[in-house]
Amino acid sequence: MNPKLNCIMLIDDDEPTNFLSSMIIEEAGCAEVIQVADSGEKAIDYFLNSQKFNYANPKYPWPDLIFLDINMPAMNGWEFLGQYKKLKKQGNHIIIIMLTTSLNPDDKNKANNTGAVTDFRHKPLTKELLDEVLDKYFAVSLKLQHNDNAHF
């Protein structure tokens, strides 16, 4: 059995993008749960529900990895990050990848200076990009998890 992340969350208002990204993650078999929020507001509601259930409800698993779009109506990626910082679970670091179509270098600089965004990448999510992210940010934890499972 391959080790998996507990949860990967997609925060993007574009339904076709979420569908394709979900398919890539599912085919990679790298996550127990794929959670999709089609707005920053829905993602914040998800986190509030996760906290309300004391992070123990399987319906609201705390994500290990978030792919976050910038340009969304109502609450964009930047506004989401502002709210997320207020909700952040102590002792649990989520890898946030800003996944966007923006080619504006100011967006990349802003993402790097937020203190919450781990990486800045361009859409679409591909298997190669997903593999890079998993190798770069989760290789050790997935390997440890795999070794722990080997004892059973």
Residue 15: half-sphere exposure toward Cβ, Cα within 13 Å? 0
Give the bridge partners for 107, in sequence order.
none
Show the DSSP H helices in the chain as ranges.
Answer: 15-28, 40-52, 77-87, 105-112, 127-150
Please write the tens of the pLDDT for every residue from 69-83.
999 998 999 999 999
How far apart CA 10 and CA 36 sit, in angstroms, is: 5
pLDDT for position 148: 47
pLDDT digits (tens, 9 = 90+) for 38-64: 999 999 999 888 776 655 556 778 899
**Lowest mean pLDDT, pick from 84-98, 118-132, 137-151:** 137-151
- pLDDT score for 59: 72
Question: For residue 90, what are the CA distances in angstroms to 15, 62, 115, 123?
Answer: 31, 12, 15, 30
Phi-psi region of 143 (alpha: psi -120 to 50; beta: other; left: phi over 0): alpha
10-25: pLDDT as tens digits: 999 999 999 999 999 9
Which region holds residue 138: left if phi is over 0, alpha if psi is between -120 and 50, else beta?
alpha
